[in-house]
Structure 1
Amino acid sequence: MTTTTPRPAAPARGGWRVPAGLVALSLVPVLAGSLRLVALGGGPQLLSPGEDYHPAPGPLATHIVCVTLYALVGAFQFAPRFRARRIGWHRVAGRLVVLCGLVGAISGLWLGVFDHRPETGALLMGFRLVFGTAWALFLVLGLTAVLRRDVGRHREWMIRAYAVGLGAGTQVFTFAAWRLAVGEPGRLAEDLLLLAGWLINVVVAEWVVRRSRRPANSPGAR
């Protein structure tokens, strides 16, 4: 009686679907940030920040550039086959992502606390402080883990950090859904829609982290 050794499963062909989805998710905030940079450079003001709101150009430009690089370069860290074949690129890109994420989080916190819109209330400021601090903290924990050669923990913290940093992408959809269903949101609704975008990303990231911890042969692991 002969036995046949089962062939290993072929690698999934959809290895680029997740990076492509993440790039698409960040597209609107990236385009909006690009228009802001054009205005800061002396070009036309295509996105009006409001008559009474003129943010400091240095921190704002720093935040936009860093968050754009973080979102776009970070998306390709989620292509496992590409990452495995180009370890050197993964490490260099990872350092850039951590640096841009930390500068983006710090500049965002500075803008949120010291250079926010006049109508910003304590509730929204509190949300920004919590998630901006969490973003920076997750990056530090991810960096610390990889320095200890704990690749699993590094991956988990970086997933969480990327999710928080990409909150603006999901907030586009929370606002769009509200406007379609209800209409223009009020002040409190705006704050809660921003919170919803962050929370959705955090929940999805935690689901991905916990799913990746399951043994390969456990129910639901595939």
Structure 2
Amino acid sequence: MKHKKGRIAIGIMYVIILFSAVYVTLMYLTHDPVNAPVVKNKLDQPGFSLTAWKVAFYPHIVLGTVALAIGPVQFLNRRRGKRQGHRILGRIYAAAIGINILVVPYMAIFATGGKGSTVAFLVLDAAWLWTTAMGVWRIWQRNVAAHRKWMVRSYAVTWGFVSFRLIVAVISLLTHAPTSVAFPVGVYVSLVLNLLVAEWLLRGRKAKPVSGSRPLREAVQAID
């Protein structure tokens, strides 16, 4: 029953990821990104190069989507017959984030919302690096329990690809705040909220089995 609920939860996550991927594809890959509102606002910024930005941006969204897609299946891919697949996907996940971490600082310099957004995205990038590096380091130490915890935290930061856009949309809709406020606030709220949910899920696994709980809790329980 636990695994069945976990699969349902992960199915829901993949639906959300699919919608996010379709949006990104239509907005930035199918059409020239120069037509996207967030890009138009950058064209007049001093030192901005559309070519250099594309070199950083395309790997960012493609590899970010890869990391998003790999995370949920890892929750179900740890049984003995699937350990090799788990390791391979884990390495791809870590590599996708490792490359992303390198391109984010350039993009942050020209982030929508100005300096506040620049700092916020750098903080997010540092959290991504820290949680993922800790997860990799722990498995090198053969500390599987700690590895699982840190990779859950890493994926919580990765999930910011999705939650950040939703939170910014809500902030803009409810408060009509300018991008200089909505974007950095959206980054911080997304990061803190995702990590709090991750810690709640991890503590919930220790406390007691879950019955009829929320989808993400079931997804994390499916790790075991």
What is the TM-score when the length of structure 2 is the normalising length? 0.77
Shift in Å at residue 190 of structure 1?
3.3
Q: CA RMSD in A?
A: 2.8
Q: Equivalents in 2 of 1:51, 1:196: separation in Å?
A: 23
Identity of aligned residues (%): 21
User: What is the aligned counterpart of 1:122 among 115, 118, 129?
Assistant: 115
Could you report, residue by residue, the CA deviation over 1:4-33 in whole angstroms, capped at 9, with x for unpaired residues? Answer: xxxxxx544212123223323434442333
Q: Which residue pairs with 2:159 in the alignment? A: 166
Matched, 1:19 2:10: yes
Shift in Å at residue 106 of structure 1?
2.1
What is the TM-score when the length of structure 1 is the normalising length? 0.78
- Checking the alignment, whether the CA contact within 8 Å between 2:135 and 2:150 is kept in structure 1 is yes
- Checking the alignment, whether the CA contact within 8 Å between 2:131 and 2:154 is kept in structure 1 is yes
- Equivalent residues in 2 for 1:41-120, closer than 5 Å: 47-48=36-37, 49-53=39-43, 54=50, 56-79=53-76, 82-84=77-79, 85-113=81-109, 116-117=110-111, 120=113
Q: Equivalents in 1 of 2:170, 2:107: separation in Å?
A: 27
Unaligned runs of 5+ in 1: 1-9
Judging by fraction of residues, say which structure has more helix: 2
Q: Tell me how many residue pairs correspond in the alignment.
A: 202
Letter aligned with residue 30 of structure 2: V
- Equivalent residues in 2 for 1:147-162, closer than 5 Å: 147-162=140-155
Letter aligned with residue 65 of structure 1: V
Letter aligned with residue 16 of structure 1: R
Higher relative contact order (CA 8 A, sep 6+): 2
Shift in Å at residue 164 of structure 1?
0.7
Q: Equivalents in 2 of 1:108, 1:29: separation in Å?
A: 19
Shift in Å at residue 69 of structure 1?
0.5
Which structure has the bigger radius of gyration?
1
Q: Equivalents in 1 of 2:205, 2:159: separation in Å?
A: 20
SS at match of 2:6: coil
Q: Which residue pairs with 1:192 in the alignment? A: 185
Instruction: Return closer, same or farther for 1:11/1:77 CA change in 2, 3 Å cut-off.
Output: same
Matched, 1:37 2:33: no
